[in-house]
Amino acid sequence: EAGVVQSPRYKIIEKKQPVAFWCNPISGHNTLYWYRQNLGQGPELLIRYENEEAVDDSQLPKDRFSAERLKGVDSTLKIQPAELGDSAVYLCASEPLTGGRGTQYFGPGTRLLVL
């Protein structure tokens, strides 16, 4: 089965520019997560979806970050405008309904560099 797909893999932008990341989870996985991983740190949750509903967005900086999962399948995370401190790896993960809570399947991530 195909894994979690993310694009682009790398993105370099100047500060104040917008940027968007795309994620396609494993087929049939209802739960989708977006994480941010800063250099030398573990992933930190930004938002969690159950199907198309954002059930935990408490960690999402809503002044500049937005996310959507319109049909409950793929998802987009957007930053507008980007700041220098947004440089990080953005990871998408999905989780099946059955098979164990907390068992997440991660994509390779999008490495963002803001200049």
Partner 1 sequence: AQSVTQLGSHVSVSEGALVLLRCNYSSSVPPYLFWYVQYPNQGLQLLLKYTTGATLVKGINGFEAEFKKSETSFHLTKPSAHMSDAAEYFCAVMGSGGYQKVTFGTGTKLQVIP
Q: Which residues bind partner 1 (CB under 8 A)?
A: 4, 40-45, 48, 55-56, 91, 93, 100-109, 111
Is the Cβ of residue 17 or residue 50 nearer to partner 1 in the bound state?
A: 50
Residue 42 beta carbon to partner 1: minimum distance, rounded to whole angstroms: 3
Cβ-based neighbours of 66, under 8 Å, separated by 6 or more:
77, 78, 80
Please report how close the Cβ of residue 71 comes to partner 1 at its closest, in angstroms.
22
By C-beta, is 17 or 31 nearer to partner 1? 31
Is the CB of 10 or the CB of 14 nearer to partner 1? Answer: 10
Element (H, E) at 78: strand 75-79
52 CB-contact burial (10 Å; exposed 0-12 / middle 13-18 / buried 19+) = middle
Estimate to the nearest angstrom the gap between the alpha carbon of 36 and the chain centroid.
7
Please state the closest distance from residue 15 (CB atom) to partner 1, in A. Answer: 24
